[in-house]
Structure 1
Amino acid sequence: MTLCLVLLLSLLAACSKGNDASSNTPAATNNQGGEPTEQTEKEVKLTFFNTSAEVNEVFEKLFQTYHELHPNVTVELIPTPIGGAQIEKFQSLLASGNPATIANLDAGTILQYKDSFLDLESEKAKYEGLTKPGAVDGALLDGKFLGIPWTAQGYGLLYNKRAVEEAIGGAFDPASIKTRDDLEALFQKIEAAGKAPVMIHGADWSLGSHYLGLAYSLQSANVEDNRKFMESLQSGEVKLMDNPQFNGLMDTFDLLKKYNARKSDPLVADYNKDSADFAKGDAAFYFMGDWTWAVVGPLEGRDQEFGVIPVPISNNPDDYGNSQIAYSEPKLFAIDNAGSTPEQQEAAKAFIEWMVTSDQGQEAIISQMGLSMPYKDVKVKGSNIISDAVSQYVDQGKVMNIGVINYLPQDYWAKTGAAMQKYLVDKVDRKGLADEVQEYWEYQGRK
């Protein structure tokens, strides 16, 4: 009996050890290929606040894939409507004490609520190694790494290769446009061939943020210098009418106005029509960004080859801006530090890294969302030809960091864009435009 009892106790002990080992055995996934690697027993729920509302469904499928690979981690989408009151919803979640674990937000919004987000300094070196040069620096907010870049956008003068080459009767070398005079000579040839040289989209966001906003980034390649310029503009120490970058930019805008395909009715601002007409060659150039591929890509009967050149602002090819296109990371992934547990924060870091480095994440972002990623090891080939053209400038270091816009008031583009619209239709002259924009910034300085 004694011997039987000893054997029974030994067997029970062995079973207990086996059960313990089974419960603690890692079984999650590898970031790259989805093979089992590590999983903790504790279940973690993450919530994801998304302001890229047009791709809600793509994110939800990614969350499901991650849960299948990591059964202990559940990611739940907090959707927002396209063009809806997204920031108000984010604010209400924060005020209620129930903030999202991860938020996909504009950099300016993250900066506004910086005390509510986790400082990712411990992750910075890793992402500097993963991303293209300048990507992490461009994402810094007040010098802190508060948001992980996952997509990138560039803009300038897009060109329709067929339309340009048919008009000039030969191959087009985009590197040949180094100055404003170079651009005008090209426009003259295109117009002489019976083509519209360029399309200006007349919406306030395009004119106030993307075009006039260049003036704030053209002051220096250093974002902090550009911030000081904006402070001087708000205090009245700097006058736009005396600023060479502003005047050079507006001299080029006068050229675009002169050759604008929409000059008979420049404020219609039908984004889909403007993009489609450009894609079919009704205008050789288009002041716009690579995001327009969402319209251009699926279009039937469009042309096949597109590219981008910088907006030249002077006749000195060495001036900053003449060989750089505007480039930024418009959205960042930030992790909550106001109501999330340490376990949730660590799980959020792992999930974000998986999204930007795994085959599944890159496939979703590049192929399904149609976006460009500022990462070195991108294994997925996208269909966005314009993004590919932007990437060539990025790889050569020929980009303008427009990060100063992250520090500007959220209504700046609408207010200054309205002044640009007046200038576009000749309701104000150069001085009138400068005065209206100056008044807006000095008002901001008095607030």
Structure 2
Amino acid sequence: MFHFKSNTGFFKKTAIVGIVTALSLSLAACSGDSDQSASESKDSKISIIVTNGKGEIDAQFKQAAKDFMAENKDINVQVESVAVGDPMNVFDKLTASGKTVTMAMFSPFDATHKYKDVGMDLSGEKWNDETNDAIKSEDGTIIGFPFAIEGMGLVYNKQVVEKAVGGEFDPYSINTQDKFKELLDKIKSSGVEYPVAYQTEAWSVSNHYSSLFLNQSEDPNTVLKEVTDGKFDYMKNDVWNGYYNTMDILASEEYNKFGKRPTGQYYDAAHVAVGNGDSAILFNGNWAFDSLKALEGSDFGFMPVPVDNDPENPLNNKIIAGPTQALVINKKATEEQQDAAKKFLDWLVYGEAGQDFIVNKSQIISAFKNNPNKVTNPLGIAISDALVENKTLPFSTNYINTGDWTTILGPEVQKYVAKQSSRADLAKAFENYYKSNKE
């Protein structure tokens, strides 16, 4: 929900500012109000609109804009954040209202697909030397600044698991499906009736979990091309089947807290269960940490999702991590606005306050190796460590249309989880989607 000032009040204010400016130019520089600054003469300030796709850090982002403006007094930054849970991108709302957004935050997929004609070429920017995660268009041009690194895998409650194994636990030691089942049996033997709390919301089982098979090639686009061309044989593909074999374990009545009714709205209940130790494991990402903090002092980590019984398989030894939000600079903005937006990006990478905003204030893992700050929440730490140790695979969700996968394929995966359809039925659903929905 966005609240804009009434047009009448705004234009009265603008008129007053214009008259006073004509009488005394010195007054124009005295205003500290960002909305008023946006209406001042372009000769005194360059005004840019920046959209923030992570509504949970709205306050932090707006404070960062103030900090940036304090260091760059010729630039006015107006931050517009999406409301948490609002499916419509704030960029679309502002554009529809006739405003030109200078810099927008999109998912990497949207930046290279739905909004592929928005972003300007950023290949020449200095910050590219500090990251390997810049977002590239289909022709290899860098069009996106990687704003947030996130990760996902099997989240586990350290206290519960360490009690079950009788000491320190190495999550990367669980690198086969058999070892995973052995771990679940140990957790059960330690007194936890259901080691897994498996949430089955459509987005989780589809665009997050069900995209993992794309990582069987070093470049997920290689597999995706087979999929989109209709040449991928799901039922004969060991990796695709392997992930659903693991899903069968996660959703089973034997191990899953919700196994008797495996599909439902279990997000909150699953996080509380793992957070307070009633269960030990769920599939999710670092964004789940706030929901997991059911007990003060509880600690959490990530395990890879095992896909088979080959301990040498990289898929069994790595978690998923990558950029999930990208900032793109609008080709339609003026050259002065584009330059101002570039300064803001440089500030995020090289400015002490910008670095602090990303990591310390927002608890976001920086995509830039020169940022000296480290996140403090345990799931963020686990991802940061995995990145340093080269124990990560690409964030597979970035390669698919998450909206379609949630609404079209999500219910099909849920049917499979609930044993209302076969794996062959699920494979057919994927085939049919890609026949009729070319991405």
Q: TM-score, normalised by structure 2?
A: 0.84
Residue 316 of structure 2: SS of its match in structure 1? coil
Residue 46 of structure 1: SS of its match in structure 2? strand
Note the residue ranges of structure 1 that are not aligned, 5 or more in a row: 1-39
Q: CA, structure 1 residues 428+303, in 2 after alignment: closer, same or farther (shift >3 Å)? A: farther
Does the 8 Å CA contact 1:147/1:332 hold for their aligned counterparts? yes
> Aligned pair count?
394
Residue number among 170, 178, 181 corresponding to 2:178 in the alignment: 181
Shift of 1:403: 5.1
Shift of 1:71: 1.2
Residue 329 of structure 1: SS of its match in structure 2? strand
Does the 8 Å CA contact 1:153/1:372 hold for their aligned counterparts? yes
Shift of 1:179: 0.9
Note the residue ranges of structure 2 that are not aligned, 5 or more in a row: 1-41
Matches within 5 A, 1:129-144: 129-131=129-131, 134-136=132-134, 139-142=135-138, 143-144=140-141
Alignment match, 1:227: 224
Matches within 5 A, 1:245-284: 245-258=239-252, 259-284=255-280
Residue 197 of structure 1: SS of its match in structure 2? coil
Does the 8 Å CA contact 1:101/1:336 hold for their aligned counterparts? yes
Is 1:102 aligned with 2:111?
A: no
Structure-2 separation of matches of 1:404 and 1:292: 16
Alignment match, 2:322: 328
Does the 8 Å CA contact 1:198/1:256 hold for their aligned counterparts? yes
Q: Which amino acid in 2 is paired with 1:294?
A: D
Q: Deviations over 1:92-137 (max 9, x none)?
A: 54466632101111112212222222111111xx334322xx423x
Is 1:190 aligned with 2:187?
A: yes
Residue 200 of structure 1: SS of its match in structure 2? coil
- Please tell me whether Structure 1 or Structure 2 has the larger radius of gyration of its CA atoms: 1
Structure-2 separation of matches of 1:300 and 1:184: 26
Q: Which amino acid in 2 is paired with 1:64?
A: K
- Higher deviation after alignment, 262-271 or 110-119: 262-271
Q: CA, structure 1 residues 398+382, in 2 after alignment: closer, same or farther (shift >3 Å)? A: closer
Residue number among 283, 286, 289 corresponding to 2:285 in the alignment: 289
Is 1:62 aligned with 2:55?
A: no
Structure-2 separation of matches of 1:220 and 1:377: 29
Is 1:377 aligned with 2:370?
A: yes
Residue 83 of structure 1: SS of its match in structure 2? coil
Residue number among 412, 420, 432 corresponding to 2:405 in the alignment: 412
Residue number among 202, 205, 210 corresponding to 1:204 in the alignment: 202
Shift of 1:288: 0.8
Shift of 1:75: 0.1
Residue number among 150, 157, 161 corresponding to 2:147 in the alignment: 150
Structure-1 separation of matches of 2:88 and 2:361: 23
Alignment match, 2:122: 120
Shift of 1:144: 1.9
CA RMSD of aligned residues (A): 2.3
Percentage of identical aligned residues: 28
Structure-2 separation of matches of 1:208 and 1:355: 33
Shift of 1:332: 0.5
Residue 157 of structure 1: SS of its match in structure 2? strand
Shift of 1:47: 0.7
Structure-2 separation of matches of 1:356 and 1:104: 16
Q: CA, structure 1 residues 224+434, in 2 after alignment: closer, same or farther (shift >3 Å)? A: closer
Shift of 1:265: 3.1
Does the 8 Å CA contact 1:108/1:406 hold for their aligned counterparts? yes
Alignment match, 2:211: 213
Shift of 1:238: 2.3
Alignment match, 1:5: none
